[in-house]
A and B are shown apart, each in its own frame.
Chain A
Amino acid sequence: MAEPKQNLGAPVKRKRAKKRREPSTLLETYGSLGLAIIVLVLWQIAVPLLGLSEFVLPTPWAIARRMVTSAPLLATNGWYTLLEVVAGFGAAVLTGVPLALAIFYSRVFERAVYPLLVGLQTIPKISLAPLLVLYLGYGWGPKIGLAFLISFFPIVISTVVGLQSLDKALVNMVRSMGSSEWQTFFKVRLPAAMPSIFGGLKVAISLAVIGAIIGEYIAAERGLGYLQLQANQQFDTTLNFATVVSISLLGVLLYFAISLLEGKVSYRKESAK
């Protein structure tokens, strides 16, 4: 933890305090963007060069144009998918975090529920989709249900692991100040577990998108998954691709929202690097 440093008078200098613009750092910063552009350009050139029809593989430019012209269609369906994801993920947070607390604080829960939960985790959640349709019908139910189920486990497990990995000496430290367990939880346990919890939330939100889309594949009358199936049936490959891009945009947007929240409520682990 406390690495011995003889630096008494001045704070430890942070690495990367001033960034030199060397070719290597330029490549590090813009490397992925450049690579993406190269791939897109190659794709754009290769399609006419290979004589591929738009039904087989549309060009990136065509997909981009289609995203603009079909924007209202994508937005309306995207909105439904977004609601399903948020509802399923929200339900998973609201039930998963309290369950994690119960597992952490109660020996009975830890002994009885936790192993069962880890065991159930081996069921591929997607294989439950047809059953969910059977039980919950064709409306919101199965989509939200699947988004919930798929994002529930990472939230529970990351929260439990985050709470359990706390250095017990920190608990003794606040206890020596006369801290109640309630105070210990809010002043030490929860903030210390935040990086782990958010790690789980980030995994969960990406999975929740997958859950909702699978739900829409099985049975739906709206949503991006539904729209993609429609495009598929009509051999509208450009719209198909436009849907794929929209789904990933939705995922990126939600991931970004979680990261933003993390920046507000959690702290950065500086020792990691």
Chain B
Amino acid sequence: MDIQYYLILSALLFVVGAAGVILRKNIIAIFLCIELMLNAVNLSFISFSRYLNQVHGQIFVFFVMVVAAAEAAVGLAITIALYRHRGSLNVDDADLMKW
């Protein structure tokens, strides 16, 4: 079983996610893209775990999933708060943190 197919798929998913983070304006879409990047990384962890016959990678994946769940909870809360204040989900409208 070749590992490179999994890694290529993981890389593709990561690039799609990163491109989405940079290019999309909708905050929900950016969120989804971040999840996509996290899961791309998870995929490569699992692949290496299987390839090297070690359990470390799987443990890391659990950690990532826990953090991702927490991050989703906080992130969505921020999103809702932002929408209430600004009436918009466009990230370019939330640019107060600058010079």
User: Are chains A and B native binding partners rather than an unrelated pairing?
Assistant: no
Binding site for A on B (CB under 8 A): none
Binding site for B on A (CB under 8 A): none
